[in-house]
Amino acid sequence: MSAPNRRVVVTQRFFDAATIAWLEENGCEVIVADLPPGRADGDLSPSELESLLAGAAGWIVGHARVTRDLLTALPDLRVISRRGVGYERVDTVAVRDLGRVACIAVGGNDASVADHTIAMMLALGRRFRESQDRMLAGDWSILMGTDLFRKTVGIIGLGRIGRSLVQRLQGFEARILVLDRMADRDYADAHHLTCLTLPELLGQSDYVSLHAPLTPETRFLIDADALGRMKPTSFLINAARGGLVDDMALLEALRSGTIAGAGLDTFVSESDPGYRPTSDALLALPNVVATPHAAASSREGLDRTNRVAAMSVVDVLDGRTPPAACVIADGRVRTPA
């Protein structure tokens, strides 16, 4: 009798040796894809993914699209585990229909993204980019910045990352507002947070930070109307998902002085190449601090997230169910008609 298939393919960069060793100790054959320079798994074609994943029972994935056609072409694949928490690129209906399991790596990168968000707030308020650009041009005069200390911060999305941000902001003695429809009232009350409607939150905040999932309801949640409700001295931070913000409207708001600046880790152009000129125009503005969807990519955060993703793979291959918070679709569980 042949041994059960325990081949696990990793299509993410920065997959640490300790997690590879842990998978091997748990009986897995680990194959880390040798991606072409400058390309992530989200850039690979379906045929390239099929070739990499042929015969695999487990897949630790980054930003590749997990489609019905791809899953159908990979009959041996039992578990798809995202090294991350967003799953808008995973066809969860197809996962269930085809009897597979899809997971996310809950809890691995909360601290990393919250730290990154604070860094963006500080960089914007203290005008780090503008100051260094001027110094490089020979102008060492001082630009007046603004503190984060005791400012009002609006948080849209009060999940794990939003709550990690709350913990950090309390050290700055910030007044924290949260969007009422995305807030856990018990948590908000216990941490002295103020629940407001979106217009109220936008109008009162010195910093607005997005930590919501991308859904049809939240797409372009921050549009021209929303930006127009913000203070001209306020800053917008998006370290969540491209598509929460209408980047074209944001570009106009920044150019016109509707808001003071933006910290951007995600862009609409990540999923819609037609927005790339808009992204490039945003990057060129002196009042924008940007990173390439890197908020979760600290060494420690990736190591934690790698391990969570790997643990879900082993759970499924061993016939167990991963922690409920990690499971986004389980086709092994059939609901009676």
Q: Which residues are catalytic?
A: 241, 270, 293
75 touches 290 (CB < 8 A): no
Continuous segment of H or E residues that includes residue 271: none
- Give 31's strand partners: 9
Q: Which two tokens stand for residue 204?
A: 């009162």
| CA proximity to 222, closest of 197, 247, 258, 204 | 247
Q: Three-state DSSP class for 157?
A: coil
Look up tokens 């950090």; give the residue: 168
Instruction: Report the Cα 182 to chain-centroid distance in Å.
Output: 17
Q: Which two tokens stand for residue 202?
A: 């936008």
Sign of CA dihedral 121, 125, 126, 128: positive
Beta strand extents in the chain (DSSP E only): 7-10, 29-32, 58-61, 79-82, 101-104, 152-156, 175-179, 194-196, 207-210, 235-238, 261-264, 288-290, 327-330
Spell 258-292 as b/e; 16+ CB within 10 A means b. bbbbbbbbbbbbbbeeebeebbeebeebebbbbee
